[in-house]
Amino acid sequence: MEKSTLHRRISPLLYFLFIFSALFIQAEAKENKKRCNCPRDCSHIFGRVGSVIDQSSRVGKEQQIAIQMAVNDYTQWLNCSKLDLLIKDTNGKFARAASTAIDLVKKKNAQAIIAALTLEEATLLSEFEEVSTTPIITIGSAAISPSQLFPQPSSVFQLNTDISIQMQCAAEIIGHFRWRRVTVIYEQSNNFYSDSRLKKQLSESLKDFSSSVEFDLAFPSLTSLREPETFIQEELKKLKSKRNGIFLLMQSSLEFSTILFKKAKKMGLMEKGYAWIMFEDVVSLLDSLEPSSLRNMQGVIGFKTNFVDSSKYFQDFKFTFRKKFRSSYPEEEHPNPSMYALQAYDATAVIAKFLQNSKGKMNSGELIKYISSSNFEGLSGKISFKNQKTLQNTTFQIINVIGKSYRQIALWSLEHGFSTDFIDHKRKGTRKKGKNCNELASIYWPGGEQTVPKESELKIGVPAMAAFHQFVHVSSDQVQNRTFSGFSLDVFEAAIKLLQYHLPHVFVPFPGTYDELVIAVSNKSLDAAVGDTNILEHRYRYADFSLPYLDTQIVMVAPAHKDLKRQGFIFVEAFEWKLWAALAALSQCTAAIIYFNEKVNGNTEFADSFPEMIGSILWLSITLLSFAHRESIRNNLSRLMLAVWLCVIVVVTASYTAVLSSMMTVPRLKPCIVDIDYLKNTNATVGCNGKGFVVKYLTDILTFNEANIKKIASSSDYLEAFEKGQISAAFLISPHAKVFVAKNKRYVMAKPSFEVGGLAYMSYVEKKLLM
């Protein structure tokens, strides 16, 4: 009885509450209709946005939730209109992204596209007639700056970070620790052109810090591998064989990097002496990794875009995002949003704000103008575009993976470099630039070390059996302490001192031939080679050479003439007998003319008798040669003759001195053999350096019989071979020949000479990265 009574009393109350709720909802609906002044159904679609993302990846999952959240958040403000969202999944097949976007525009009438596309893909997509006027906003991985080959059209907008800024940040980290050689690792994208530009851009950024890429290891996309773990492990063996332990993970998906570090740790590449640097595409997603994956990354440093995460706007977004993400993807244990989610939300917000201002009318041309002039504060920062590129003032957090998470160690920006402002934002004047940033010195590197990993010393090969020790000499004492000396090494050390950084290196004696030394540099047994090594065409195929520090030619060295013919009367042979007779006759005529002219003019110093006259003329012709005559010359005509004779004597004396000097010296400098054909025709034996290239040059170019070539090991052996008659001539490169001739005066260099590339230093450079 009591229950029925209670039921009768409650039922009218429930009925009253139901009627009141219905009336309230109806009144609210009328008020909304009155407020929006819209006679049509509020479910009417005014905007249709297409989105192309890879929902099989962590980034794609975050982007999907963020875009859906943006549509839901802004729909309530769209004046009774609806923003229709069309999300298409590429399932990890990047080749489908462009075709999917075209289908969205052509078949689904999408009026805007938000897609995880590269700039080149978005640019090519805009070339299609169906998509040419449709605005495209690119999100996801960092974008490459436009090039002349792919100029950015007015309908394509980049909301993602410019990759060039990431390159500069990575280069400054490398430059800060004075690393000069790095190994680059990256997962290939679906666009080869993008990959090649990335590598070139990185090389350009590293040049500012005198650093370079020593080796690059490219992995295919993870989705294209049947057994990714096995393939990655086999490829990492290439890094294990390298001496350089500074690795830069330039481009990678989260899934790929997880496997990469798992295998790297197993192979000992995450121990003391190694350093790993990661780009933003992985660092931004570290919050979503399991502790086991982070344990494989201990000591890794990286950087990601810094954003304000303390605002109420962000906290509300984060709360809702975590709830929706956990509901949609329960298998994901870490639902925190990354920068990719924030950018996806802001990209959708730009379109939604346009619909607000346009009163629900979607027009592609007007939308493009609106996006270009947009200026508002989004989750990822200030949303504003210039030349279709975001104008965000990018600042990166430098992080260090430690324990179950990571810690921030510094900030970096193009304007200020490294700083530690994040430690206490209320304090002013705490910014420290570059080398003064002490926080970069407190990093825990792989293996738990706080000491900065050092580059391994360059192994530089030095010819141990060089023929001329004046250029290269390797000696050792009783305790096997080796000493390296010589002109070639002195030049190298002088060049090293001019560098603005320290280049650790160690000399290694190489016992083989020079060609074997080139092969050792080519196969990376040696990093470089220093010595009297010539640049040759066949060597240049295997190694790179520096500029020549000495020009060289191949020259022939032969003995000089031993004796001078008729050495006792060599002064007579200075002139031919006809010249001697002409000079004697001219002297007699000059003396006779002067004598008779003075006699006729009454000079009493000249004798009258015929025998005395003959004697006086003969004596005068002799004394006139040195102007030692005792008779005084009084007549002007005689003086004129004497002046002419003086000129003749001066010319003859100078000529005689020059000819006699030449006759006494040139024979000593003239080789006894000047013709190579003579050596070949007479089957003469010639000598050359047995470890150099001259042997091959004599047989292949100069067509000497190999049996007539004696291989000589040292400079002293050349002299011994000459003296014993074992060789008739020697063929040396000109620097060696000059040293030999300077020490042995009885040997001279003969012509002709044959040009070669010059003496230079060798190294091996990974050319495929720089092409």
**Mean pLDDT rounded to a whole number for the chain:** 80
Q: Could you report the per-residue pLDDT of 481-501, keeping only the tens digit for each?
A: 788 999 999 999 999 888 777
More confident residue, 574 or 444: 444
Contact (Cβ atoms closer than 8 angstroms) between residue 435 and residue 176:
yes
Whole-angstrom distance, CA of residue 492 vs CA of residue 486:
10
Least confidently predicted of 57-61, 385-389, 714-718: 385-389
Virtual CA dihedral for 631, 633, 639, 642, nearest 10 degrees?
Answer: 0
Q: Is the pLDDT of residue 3 over 70?
A: no
> What are the structural domain ranges in the chain?
458-552+762-768, 567-666, 676-755
Q: Does 550 score more than 70 pLDDT? A: yes
pLDDT band at 770 (very low <50, low <70, confident <90, very high): very low
pLDDT of residue 767: 44
CB 667 within 8 A of CB 564: yes
Query: How would residue 333 be classed by pLDDT, with cut points 50, 70 and 90?
Result: confident
Assigned fold of 458-552+762-768: D-Maltodextrin-Binding Protein; domain 2 (3.40.190)
Give me the percent of the chain exceeding a pLDDT of 70. 80
Same fold: 458-552+762-768 with 676-755: yes
pLDDT of residue 41: 45
Distance between CA 23 and CA 17 in Å, rounded? 10
Query: pLDDT-based confidence at 454, cuts 50/70/90?
Result: confident
Verdict on whether the full-model pTM lies above 0.75: no
Evaluate if residue 427 carries a pLDDT over 50: no
676-755 fold: D-Maltodextrin-Binding Protein; domain 2 (3.40.190)
Burial of residue 10 (CB within 10 Å: 0-12, 13-18, 19+) is exposed
Has residue 407 got a pLDDT over 60? yes
Does the pLDDT value for residue 13 go beyond 70?
no
DSSP state of 587: H
Q: Which two tokens stand for residue 494?
A: 């002088």
- pLDDT per position as a tens digit, 88-100: 887 766 567 778 8
CA distance 408 to 402: 10
pLDDT bucket at 460, cuts 50 / 70 / 90: very high
- Residue range 250-281, pLDDT digits in tens: 888 888 999 999 999 999 999 988 999 999 88
pLDDT band at 549 (very low <50, low <70, confident <90, very high): very high
Cα separation, 105 vs 370, in Å, equals 20
- Identity of residue 765: V
pLDDT band at 639, cuts 50/70/90?
confident
Least confident of 77-91, 156-170, 578-592, 729-743: 77-91
Confidence of residue 768 (pLDDT cuts 50, 70, 90): very low
Exposed, middle or buried, 611 (CB in 10 Å: 0-12/13-18/19+)? exposed
Q: Where are the beta strands (DSSP E) in 90-222?
A: 112-115, 136-138, 156-158, 181-187, 212-219
* pLDDT more than 90, % of the chain: 26
Q: What is the model's pLDDT at position 472?
A: 93
CA proximity to 543, closest of 524, 521, 512: 521
The tokens of 707 are what?
A: 């049996």
Average pLDDT over residues 170-185: 90
Rounded Cα distance, 472 and 557, in Å: 21
Give 233's pLDDT tier (boundaries 50, 70, 90): very high
Best-predicted range by mean pLDDT (6-20, 30-44, 568-582)? 568-582
User: Is the pLDDT at 122 greater than 70, yes or no?
Assistant: yes
